[in-house]
């Protein structure tokens, strides 16, 4: 389970809007100069992320919670978003060489294969948009953000 801490901003029946702050360990990583995540983190102005999470615990606004998503769900989504378009690109480039086609045709077909892979990933995303298996889930409550401090009056 991949976990992230966040704060509950809004609550509705069965779901909660949770804001997380993206943390990055890019500064201590040796591969940061060739990493896409580091490049995106540098360009991104905000490190806050808002997500809709399944709420089995009936949380309240202001509570600190831990949300999680199973590793296999993240792996499956990554395969659809990265591997399928890449396979379309490679397949489109290889097919003309099997037929003995020209390199210009291979370039055009590889672009069509890549676009077809993106289209498949988009359709899969739309199909699974309301699938609860792809939603993060609130795992536990950490604390209440706005704890009140009692006031003591002395005469």
Interval 66-75 mean pLDDT: 89
Which of 95, 100, 126, 131 has its CA nearest to residue 111?
95
Interval 118-144 mean pLDDT: 88
At residue 10, the pLDDT reads 92
CB 20 within 8 A of CB 4: yes
At residue 151, the pLDDT reads 62
Question: Has residue 91 got a pLDDT over 90?
Answer: yes
**b vs e for 98-120, b when ≥16 Cβ sit within 10 Å of the residue's Cβ?**
eeeeeeeebeebbeebbebbeee
Interval 78-89 mean pLDDT: 93
Residues 16-70 have pLDDT tens digits of: 999 987 665 555 566 656 666 656 666 655 678 888 999 998 898 988 999 998 8
Which of 88, 9, 90 has its CA nearest to residue 55?
9
Question: Has residue 97 got a pLDDT over 90?
Answer: no
**How high is the mean pLDDT of the chain?**
82
Q: Where are the domains of the chain?
A: 2-144
- Is 0.85 surpassed by the pTM of this model? no
H-assigned helices in the chain: 36-43, 71-78, 84-99, 103-127
Taking the CB of residue 122, how many other CB atoms lie within 10 A of it?
13
> Which of the 8 DSSP states describes residue 151?
P
Averaging pLDDT over each range in 3-7, 69-73, 93-97, 114-118, which range is the top one? Answer: 114-118
């Amino acid at each position: 389970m991949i976990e992230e801490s966040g704060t509950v901003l809004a609550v509705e029946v069965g779901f909660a809007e949770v804001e997380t702050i993206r943390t990055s360990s890019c500064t201590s990583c040796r591969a940061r100069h060739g990493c896409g995540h580091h490049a995106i983190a540098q360009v991104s102005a905000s490190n806050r992320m808002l997500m809709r999470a399944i709420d089995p615990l009936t949380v309240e606004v202001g509570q600190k919670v831990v949300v999680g998503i199973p590793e296999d769900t993240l792996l499956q989504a990554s395969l659809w978003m990265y591997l399928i378009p890449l396979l379309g690109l490679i397949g489109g480039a290889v097919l003309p060489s099997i037929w003995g086609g020209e390199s210009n045709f291979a370039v055009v077909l590889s672009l069509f294969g890549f676009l077809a892979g993106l289209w498949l990933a988009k359709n899969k995303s739309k199909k699974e948009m309301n699938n609860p298996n792809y939603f993060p889930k609130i795992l536990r409550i950490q604390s209440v953000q706005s704890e009140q401090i009692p006031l003591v009056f002395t005469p």
